[in-house]
Amino acid sequence: MAHRIAIIGGDGIGPEVIDEALAVVAAAGVALETTEYDLGGRRYLATGEVLSDETLEELRGFDAILLGAVGTPDVPPGIIERGLLLKMRFALDLYVNLRPFVAGPSTLNDGVDMLVVRENTEGTYAGEGGFLRKDTPAEIATQGSVNTRMGVERCVRYAYDLARSRPARHLTLVHKTNVLTFSGDLWERTFREVAAEYPEVTTGYDHIDAACIHFVQRPERYDVIVTDNLFGDILTDLGGAVAGGIGRAASANLNPARTGPSLFEPVHGSAPDIAGTGTADPRAAVISAAMMLDFLGEDAAADRVRAAVAATDDVTGGTSAIGSAIADAL
């Protein structure tokens, strides 16, 4: 039976890399029933609509969502991010952002294999804050960070389960507990209390600034990392650079409770400067599709796709050439 997948190609290079990802999934022998949705910056400029409640309800009915990239230079910052991406995260309860970083032989950090678990629905992205006396010399802007015990604990538990399933069985909490004494305290207490239920997992802690240094100088020290929304956003982009470039940075926005679909996307952005040139690297989209296959229970196919990506690590050329090489390696 085919899996029902909503496809949001989006803007810029998004449709190009998603086409290659779907071709690789087909070559892996997995049947998908796809429905395309025209969402993103281009749609907003044409209609003024970002994501209607009706479309959101339709998306709830799919097994998963595969997204290319959204955003165009003509749309002011925040409109697509809050109106589409964050709206889906909150409404579909995509509370785990999972980012794998595997550096191949063509990179400076060959052998690095780490995962970052980012809390995806709370923190500074929850939208708490506002202005006082806006547009005056005495203007005040506040931006709060919302952290709940439920939100923190379910993310931490997911990270412990993930760490327990890996050979190294090591989990590192990254935060800034020496300065963010309220949210940091909640994260650290929860991390240590849950640790008692996972005696086989060793643990560590790094401040976010130290973790950034280690990502650059010694990324091999990490296995699984868990962190909050803002720190995770920053750290995972750095991780993409460490693992060979943002063109290889894949992600899964997960609802582990499976009360709705999870969303899978490369995180390189829409790259409008190279859209239509056929030069975008589709590897991030392909790896994101492999993560989708994991979520759908197609573990063997997902492993074959990742192996094919690794086997073609040194392949260069355009979008289609790289995609075809991966498909041929299956």
| Token pair recorded at residue 29 | 């022998």
Q: Which residues carry out catalysis?
A: 125, 176, 209, 233, 237
pLDDT, position 98: 98
Q: What is the mean pLDDT of residues 231-240?
A: 94
CA distance 82 to 89: 10
pLDDT digits (tens, 9 = 90+) for 52-63: 999 999 999 999
Select the more confidently predicted residue: 35 or 127.
35
- % residues pLDDT > 90 (the chain): 92
Sorted by where each begins, the domain ranges of the chain are 1-92+260-330, 101-112+120-228
- pLDDT above 80: residue 154: yes
What's the Cα-to-Cα distance from 283 to each of 40, 120, 195, 267, rounded to whole Å? Answer: 21, 23, 35, 11
CATH superfamily, with its number, for domain 1-92+260-330: Isopropylmalate Dehydrogenase (3.40.718.10)
pLDDT, position 108: 61
pLDDT, position 89: 97
Mean pLDDT value across the chain: 95
pLDDT, position 109: 64
Q: What is the mean pLDDT of residues 226-246?
A: 92
pLDDT, position 103: 76
What's the Cα-to-Cα distance from 70 to each of 50, 89, 286, rounded to whole Å? Answer: 11, 15, 17
* CATH domain 101-112+120-228 topology: Rossmann fold (3.40.50)
Q: What is the mean pLDDT of residues 206-217?
A: 96
**Same CATH fold assignment for domains 1-92+260-330 and 101-112+120-228:** no
pLDDT, position 273: 95
pLDDT digits (tens, 9 = 90+) for 2-53: 999 999 999 999 999 999 999 999 999 999 999 999 999 999 999 999 999 9
pLDDT, position 247: 78
